[in-house]
Chain A
Amino acid sequence: EAQVTQNPRYLITVTGKKLTVTCSQNMNHEYMSWYRQDPGLGLRQIYYSMNVEVTDKGDVPEGYKVSRKEKRNFPLILESPSPNQTSLYFCASSPIGQGGGSSYNSPLHFGNGTRLTVT
């Protein structure tokens, strides 16, 4: 079954304790991205990756790191979590190369989310 798998689903941690949220996809997608979802703000992009070893900042990258050493995996790292990073996080992937004209129109495939609480 084609899917994006995130782990863990729920995580409660304390300020300053490093954590990693894993994301893996089995669809051989080049593009992967991390979002956070907060009430009233919708989804905001944290980081994205166009392929192995190619990553770039999204709209809210502060306090986060990513790596893309293999095509299937795209972990999100919080080196020193703070309470303002309490949120619902989603990983997503899509193929590249289905854009028509100047517009990218490949649908994103999402994981089921990781609810992070930092106290």
Chain B
Amino acid sequence: GNSVTQMEGPVTLSEEAFLTINCTYTATGYPSLFWYVQYPGEGLQLLLKATKADDKGSNKGFEATYRKETTSFHLEKGSVQVSDSAVYFCATTSGTYKYIFGTGTRLKVLA
């Protein structure tokens, strides 16, 4: 079945640093790929998504490109802020309306 592997955290960065959180997937067919973000004390919320190869999802300065050749969907941001401190989840879906989540990567941004 489909699976997602994302980098272990925590990731600690200084404000304005460049962020990359790696995510790779295994899947049959043509899955959709997502990044969700979880702020303290809240549920997950969609950050961005891509539904086919070479699509780039973007939102709030974050970007991720669906790379079928490397089965990757790495999350990037050029300049992080303290308010970006959260847990980030990579996810994929199968054709049966099932989401598969990665284990989450905690990001801490220091002022």
Q: Which residues of A contact B (CB under 8 A)?
A: 4, 31, 33, 35, 40-45, 48, 50, 58, 90, 92, 96, 99-105, 107-108, 110-113
Q: Which residues of B contact A (CB under 8 A)?
A: 29-32, 34, 36, 41-46, 49, 51-52, 89, 93-99, 101-104
15 further interface pairs, Cβ-Cβ under 8 Å (given A42-B89, A101-B30, A102-B29): A35-B101, A41-B103, A44-B101, A90-B44, A92-B43, A92-B44, A103-B29, A103-B30, A103-B93, A104-B94, A104-B96, A107-B46, A108-B46, A108-B99, A110-B43
Q: How many whole Å from B1's CB to the nearest CB in chain A?
A: 10
Chain B minimum-CB-distance residue to A113:
B43
Q: Which of A43, A104, A107 interacts with B97 by CB under 8 Å? A: A104
**Contact A110 to B89, CB < 8 A, known contacts A45-B98, A50-B97, A104-B32:** no
Q: How many whole Å from B18's CB to the nearest CB in chain A?
A: 25
Q: How many whole Å from A61's CB to the nearest CB in chain B?
A: 13
Across the A-B interface, how many residue pairs have beta carbons closer than 8 Å? Answer: 71
Q: Which residues of B contact A99 (CB under 8 A)?
A: 95
Q: Which residues of A contact B99 (CB under 8 A)?
A: 33, 43, 45, 108
**Contact A102 to B89, CB < 8 A, known contacts A108-B44, A108-B46:** no
Q: How many whole Å from B22's CB to the nearest CB in chain A?
A: 15
Q: Report how far A66 CA is from B69 CA in the complex, Å.
A: 40
Q: Which residues of A contact B94 (CB under 8 A)?
A: 104
Q: How many whole Å from A48's CB to the nearest CB in chain B?
A: 7
Q: How many whole Å from B49's CB to the nearest CB in chain A?
A: 6
Q: Report how far A43 CA is from B89 CA in the complex, Å.
A: 9
Q: Which residues of B contact A48 (CB under 8 A)?
A: 97-98
Q: How many whole Å from A96's CB to the nearest CB in chain B?
A: 7
Q: Which residues of A contact B93 (CB under 8 A)?
A: 103-105
